[in-house]
Amino acid sequence: MEHAIGIDLGCTHIKAILVKADGTIVKEIRQDTDEQNDAHWKQSVKQIIAQLKKETSHINAIGLSAPGLANATNTCIEFMPGRLPGLENFNWSDFTGERIYVLNDAHAALMAEAQFGAAKNKKYAFILTLGTGVGGGILIDGKLYQGVGQMAGHLGHSTVDAMDNNKDVTNMPGSLEDAIGNLSIEVRTKGKFKTTWDLVQAYQKGDDFATEVWLTSVRKLAASIASFINILSPEVVIIGGGISKAEDTLMKPLQKFVNKFEWQPGGKKTEIQLAH
């Protein structure tokens, strides 16, 4: 059976899988990225590919996803301001000697959901990936919509507070990314929490300050989702990324807020699902 290798290069972790054509995962690998050391994470990716290739002689595709905008030929990430220095215009095929298809990470996540997960057999959907930042992808007529310059779907760079003086990496003031992404957790919590998981655990224990911060972030996420629903009218909204592992701690208040904000003409209610 044919196999493929998929690699997700994130700011925190490198995650890789060897997968069969039917979606069965054969092997998984996870490593720390060490974001500021590009020689390290580039070599790690190369070594991971070599390691996974030892499992089978039938590799027919290798894909790599990362934050930023892929170029027109999908050989590299062409633009990624402020993160993973050394990533922009780095040609992975030249470096590894393998043909590697490069795609924005949230776009790749959406296509995986369309093939195997929450968007399977759906024509209209969007995904929000909640992690270090907030990524997104849009499915229209069953196809990934990328727009001019492959910029479409960067939903995390929409604003939830235009009066906020803080700007994200795309110069957007008060972005959704800054409202809930892990990169802003110390600012949002005035240094009390170092990670979103620390915040979530405190919220689960009933900490008043953690509750205020967490529910404020989730409320802003819900308002954004309701706005995107008004624009895109999807069949399903998919929530992925590391923060989605909070599961009910995220999804229960999120659904409650969305129910308040979503326009539901004729009783229409958009399904919200966790990524598979």
Residue 254 lies in a domain: yes
Residue 129: closest CA among 245, 40, 32, 253? 245
SS3 letters across 81-95: CCCCCCCECCCHHHH
Confidence at residue 81, expressed as pLDDT on a 0 to 100 scale: 85
- Our count of domains for the chain comes to 2
- Residue 37 counted as domain residue: yes
Which domain covers residue 65, as residue numbers?
3-99
Whether 171 and 246 map to the same domain: the answer is yes
- 104 in any annotated domain: no
Contacts of 260 (CB under 8 A, 6+ apart): 222
Q: Which of 72, 99, 126 is the last residue of a domain?
A: 99
Percent of the chain with pLDDT over 90: 94
User: What is the structure's pLDDT at 219?
Assistant: 98
> Which of 66, 99, 132 corresponds to the end of one domain?
99
pLDDT score recorded for residue 158: 98
Q: What is the pLDDT of residue 12?
A: 87
* Over residues 145-170, mean pLDDT: 94
pLDDT digits (tens, 9 = 90+) for 213-266: 999 999 999 999 999 999 999 999 999 999 999 999 999 999 999 999 999 999
Q: Provide the mean pLDDT of the chain.
A: 96
Asked whether residue 230 falls in the same domain as residue 149, the answer is: yes
Question: Both 168 and 207 in a single domain?
Answer: yes
Tell whether 77 and 125 lie within a shared domain. Answer: no
What are the structure tokens assigned to 136, written together? 């997104």
CATH value at residue 89: 3.30.420.40
Same domain assignment for residues 8 and 118:
no
If asked whether residues 94 and 113 sit together in one domain, one would say no
Instruction: Kindly tell me if the per-residue pLDDT of 23 is higher than 90.
Output: no
Q: In the structure encoding, which two tokens stand for residue 53, read together? A: 């290739």
pLDDT in tens, 114-157: 999 999 999 999 999 999 899 999 999 999 999 998 899 999 99
Same domain, yes or no, for 246 and 180?
yes
Residue 208 has pLDDT above 80, yes or no: yes
Can you point out the beta strands (E) in the chain? 3-9, 13-20, 25-32, 59-66, 69-70, 77-79, 101-104, 125-130, 134-140, 143-145, 236-240, 271-274
The DSSP call for residue 267 is G
**Confidence at residue 202, expressed as pLDDT on a 0 to 100 scale:** 98
Q: Look at residue 210 and tell me whether its pLDDT is greater than 90.
A: yes
Indicate the residue among 99, 127, 151 that finishes a domain.
Answer: 99
**CB under 8 Å to 56, separation ≥6 — which residues?**
3, 18, 26
Q: Are residues 76 and 113 in the same domain?
A: no
Q: pLDDT tens-digit profile of 37-75?
A: 999 999 999 999 999 999 998 999 999 999 999 999 999
DSSP 130-193: ESSSEEEEEEETTEEE--GGG-TT-GGGSBS-TT-S-B-TTS-BTBHHHHHSGGGHHHHTTTS-
Query: Is 12 in a helix, a strand, or coil?
Result: coil
Instruction: Tell me, yes or no, whether 268 lies in a domain.
Output: yes
Q: Decide if 253 is inside a domain.
A: yes
Do 173 and 93 share a structural domain? no
How much is the pTM? Answer: 0.91
Do 120 and 207 have their domain in common? yes
Residue 7, beta-bridge partner list: 16, 64
Q: Which residues in 234-256 are b (16+ Cβ under 10 Å) and which e?
A: bebbbbbbbbbebeebbbebbbe
**Looking at residue 82, what is its pLDDT?**
83
Residues 154 and 202 in one domain: yes
**For residue 68, is it within any domain?**
yes
Same structural domain, 129 and 192: yes
Compute the C-alpha angle 84/87/91, nearest 5°. Answer: 160
Which pLDDT belongs to residue 1? 72
